[in-house]
């Protein structure tokens, strides 16, 4: 891995992926996205990992897709490169993903943060979909996920003006889970990750899948999907352990089985 740093054992059960093109503000070129896809595939299979944090650095989470790499391309080049199959794979990660965002999260960077399940932001974070300023528009889910997250009026404004919002505004609008001073954002993401990592990873996987289903189907089908996954948790040792621990007034030790 050249453009990202991966630590599968950053903390107990928590993996950390750092986007690492600092000079280019972590612009997401094709190689970086391939590396990210591969890292997530491996971490998803790694039994010692329960939660994955994706971060950048203080100045930038990611300032978008790499404009220099895209500038000379035709529509057919873009079609043939098919970069979004990489994004689709990332989206299929089964373990909870937390984006720890400071500085710029723009265009594809904002879209990558929104592809994660939760976002922890620093006060200095700047979220935006500025593609319109370079004559294009969001292509990795920006028009869809932002609209679902913050509603039509504000999403429309951000997508059509390219204006940024800061961490506090992003939290007020429901785009991010938590906003903290810049020196705390990674730590805050780690404590959120640690909380989730203490739960049954089987239940976490099934619960993540079920929450995501809420965006993809109507209520009746979503409730049915939820119910099946709920029943499935009763096939796990973690369910027995969790319920017994409650009754015996002790802390549950989940195994992921």
98, 11 in Cβ contact below 8 A? no
Distance in angstroms (rounded) separating the CA atoms of residues 42 and 61: 22
129, 88 in Cβ contact below 8 A? no
Between 66 and 190, name the residue whose CB sits nearer to ligand HXC.
Answer: 66
Out of 61, 104, 127, 225, the only residue in the binding site for ligand HXC (CB under 6 A) is 104
Going by the DSSP 8-state scheme, the letter that residue 217 receives in this structure is: S
**By CB under 6 A, how many residues form the interface with ligand HXC?**
18
Distance in angstroms (rounded) separating the CA atoms of residues 87 and 212: 16
Pick the piece of the chain touching ligand HXC (CB under 6 A) from 131-139, 149-157, 176-184, 243-251.
Answer: 131-139
Between 63 and 116, name the residue whose CB sits nearer to ligand HXC.
Answer: 63
Write the CA distances from 55 to 18, 83, 126, integer angstroms. 5, 21, 14
Catalytic site positions:
65, 108, 111, 131
Write the CA distances from 191 to 46, 57, 131, 249, integer angstroms. 21, 18, 33, 24
Between 104 and 254, name the residue whose CB sits nearer to ligand HXC.
Answer: 104
Largest CA distance in the chain: 65
Between 108 and 167, name the residue whose CB sits nearer to ligand HXC.
Answer: 108
- Regarding 24 and contact with ligand HXC (CB under 6 A), the answer is yes
For the segment 41-70, give every residue that binds ligand HXC (CB under 6 A). Answer: 63-68
Pick the piece of the chain touching ligand HXC (CB under 6 A) from 37-45, 99-107, 167-175, 218-226.
Answer: 99-107
Which residues would be at the binding site for ligand HXC (CB under 6 A)? 24-25, 27, 63-68, 104, 106-108, 130-131, 134, 139-140
């Amino acid at each position: 891995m050249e453009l990202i740093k991966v630590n599968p054992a950053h903390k107990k059960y928590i993996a950390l992926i750092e986007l690492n093109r600092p000079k280019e503000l972590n612009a997401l070129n094709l190689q970086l996205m391939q590396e990210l896809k591969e890292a997530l595939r491996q971490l998803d299979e790694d039994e010692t990992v329960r939660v994955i944090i994706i971060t950048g650095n203080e100045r930038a989470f990611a300032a978008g897709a790499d404009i220099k790499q895209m500038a000379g391309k035709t529509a057919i080049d873009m079609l043939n490169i098919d970069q979004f199959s990489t994004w689709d794979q990332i989206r299929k990660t089964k373990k909870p993903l937390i984006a720890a965002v400071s500085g710029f999260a723009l265009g594809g960077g904002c879209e990558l943060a929104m592809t994660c399940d939760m976002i922890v932001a620093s006060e200095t974070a700047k979220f935006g979909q500025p593609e319109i300023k370079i004559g294009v528009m969001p292509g990795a889910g920006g028009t869809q996920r932002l609209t679902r997250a913050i509603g039509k009026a504000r999403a429309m404004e951000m997508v059509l003006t390219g204006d940024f919002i800061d961490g506090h505004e992003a939290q007020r609008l429901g785009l991010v889970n938590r906003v903290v001073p810049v020196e705390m954002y990674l730590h805050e993401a780690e404590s959120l990750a640690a909380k989730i990592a203490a739960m049954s990873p089987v239940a976490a996987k099934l619960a993540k899948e079920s929450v995501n289903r809420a965006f993809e189907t109507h209520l009746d089908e979503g409730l049915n999907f939820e119910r099946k996954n709920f029943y499935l948790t009763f096939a796990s040792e973690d369910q027995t352990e969790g319920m017994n621990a409650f009754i015996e007034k002790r802390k549950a030790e989940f195994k992921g089985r």
